[in-house]
Amino acid sequence: MTTNLNTQTGVILFAHGSRDPLWRLPIDAVAQQMTQRWPGLAVACAFLELTTPDLATTVETMMMRGVTHLRIVPMFLGVGRHAREDLPALVNDLAQAYPQVQFELLPAIGEHPAMTQLMADIAANQAITP
């Protein structure tokens, strides 16, 4: 699989956050896999609450790396209030603060047909193990 992302594009994996430091490990693992598969792609994690860094801090870090297009991927299985209201408001505020950056907010990862299929495969014990 290839990406249509260039060196000025960064991907932010956005998740809720938790007081439990182990909670973030799966999100960090996704970021690590992306970095391994696409070494030139800027990838980072950001969290809504209880875990650092927050979205604004991650955006600023990406901008310091020369990123001018940010693809924000909500790492939510469903669309609750955070994905439907809180995150779009945060992105809107960031777009106002940084008009030189193009922000692209994707749908929640759990809504992607490939994710639905993968979860169905795992639930049916049909997933291919590495």
Q: How far apart are CA 66 and CA 36, in angstroms?
A: 20
- pLDDT surpassing 90 at residue 125: no
Q: Tokens standing for 111? A: 């809504």
Structural domains in the chain, CATH included, are: 10-123 (3.40.50.1400)
Per-residue pLDDT reduced to its tens digit, 63-86: 999 999 999 999 999 887 878 889
DSSP 8-state class, residue 54: B
First to last CA, the chain: 17
- pLDDT surpassing 50 at residue 2: no
Per-residue pLDDT reduced to its tens digit, 9-19: 999 999 999 99
- pLDDT surpassing 80 at residue 4: no
How far are the Cα atoms of 56, 58, 130 from residue 47, in angstroms, in the given order?
10, 9, 28
Per-residue pLDDT reduced to its tens digit, 87-106: 999 999 999 999 999 999 99
Between these two residues, 94 and 125, which has the higher pLDDT value?
A: 94
R_g of the chain, CA atoms, integer Å: 15
- pLDDT surpassing 70 at residue 129: no
Q: How far apart are CA 19 and CA 17, in angstroms?
A: 7
What value does the mean pLDDT of the chain take? 91
- pLDDT surpassing 60 at residue 127: no
